[in-house]
Structure 1
Amino acid sequence: MSDSVIRLSGFYYAYPQSDVLLKEINLSVEKGSFTAIAGPSGAGKTTLCRAMTGIVPTYYGGRYAGKVEVLGEDIRDKKISDLAMRVGIMLDDYESQMVSLTAGEEISFSLLNHGFSPDAVDARVKEALNDVGLPDRENYQLDELSGGQRQRLLLASVLATRPDILILDEPVSAMDPDGARSLYALVDRIHKDHGMTVVVVEHDLNYLLPYMTHMVLMEKGEIKVQGPFEEAARQAFSQESLRANLPELWRIKLGLEAKYPVTLQDWRSEAAAVQELAERFEKEKDHD
């Protein structure tokens, strides 16, 4: 597809001294999409994210076959540092990505390494902190910030390079449900405000239901289902081994459609589901 910003074709990968982990990956990520990647632990989700940024195989080594293209270019022809300006990644172990003492220094680090002027760095630091809801925190020490604020800070440091693509690998794994919902609402706002392509690895797709446009389900290093969310959800529901990955609301929705002669709306929240079911119930009452 001409509007794909990430494309993997026949991609296989094995870490050094390991068996093949990713097997015949064929995947296209559409420009401007919000793509969720899910599957059991060990399915290869994190490695797939690393392949999208070029750090697999360039940094980790190992054996691979096939092709990975990012923004229309083969990653084998690009430097990792150049890709990092176009593709931002936030790991689940976010603390390991932090290198500085203050919030401003944390965001400035990669910009200075890429030769931005001090004035440009200052402007981008302020903009990035505003984007993530941490205005005027440039001089805060990292230990003065809560865990959730440090996670937002890392997101700000990724956004400061103004990447075309944002890849998040289980970014809420250490957060409580309220914090997780808040972070994903922020990511969705950034996605829409900046027209950014977003890829998120998340084991609990209930958090992403309001936002995702596309879904990828993995199992044992292979992609089992991929595509626009509704299409992929219907495919997954038809396979018992994949059904549990779906958001709970959609398991209910597709279960009702399988049992009764109805086609329900695109439920993205409990409120939408309750409203539709209540309206259908009222119509049935009126017909009695």
Structure 2
Amino acid sequence: MTHPRLLPARPDLAAAHLREEVEADRYVEPVDMQVTAGVTAIRREPRDDGPMDTQALFGEVFAVLEERDGWAWGYSRHDGYVGWIDMSALSQPVTPATHRVSALRTYLFSEPDLKSAPHSLLSMNAKIAVGTRQGRFVDAGGRGWVFEGHIVPLGEPAADFVAVAEQFTGAPYLWGGKESLGLDCSGLVQSSLEAAGIMVLRDTDMQEAEFAQRFTAIAHDAPRRRGDIVFWKGHVGIMVDEERLLHANATYMATITEPAAETERRATQSGSPVTSVIRIGS
């Protein structure tokens, strides 16, 4: 059964590929559009103050099933997440990405000149189609210019996802965020693993179920090591060594590293003990 947050179906409308799986008044073939804003919210409702469940970064593709009053309903081709996106953040045609942003953040400049006005700020894992080069800048699919030292080919993963995650230290906590200017606990895990070439689902509950199938579970009280993923109900963090945990959290409203024992003490006191510990890799 597909997770409801990944199921592009409503009673009145569903994606065409679900015709044999769900009942709907009509079935629609999606129209792919590309995110051309630096980042945009995927919302639960088609309004500016609708709850944000996640974000789509520059260069990602959104499969549109319906357009309504300046909003697009559909799903992310990146991780399958369903919701509404402001149409002003999308455009066509889709240009296949060749590179991703490897720096924590970088500017999309209007000209191949560091003194030119920037169009927007791009966060780690934003996708670009590299065009011509001028000096130290590359054309990002006609959308602007990016410093070439801040991008890598899509097939060139970071060696250590924990080191990637540590770059987000100090980033403010933002529910549904997955960028350098604000992210939540599962967004931190998803983004850092993606940079290392490991694609995973978005939310904590999805991640815990997926990781239990893909990776190795260890005992809650077993010695931990760098890269182990610790889950609680509704929360997740990354061990940076045997004793310290890195996590984006609402207690400090920031991404911090602290003793894992302290995190577990607070969680247990609030009735939320560790539910699983997952080891990524051998």
Give the TM-score band, short-chain normalised.
0.3 to 0.5
Whichever of the two has the greater Rg, that structure is 1
TM-score of the superposition, structure 2-length normalised?
A: 0.32
TM-score of the superposition, structure 1-length normalised?
A: 0.32
Q: Which has the higher contact order (CA 8 A, sep 6+)?
A: 1
Q: Which has the higher helix share?
A: 1
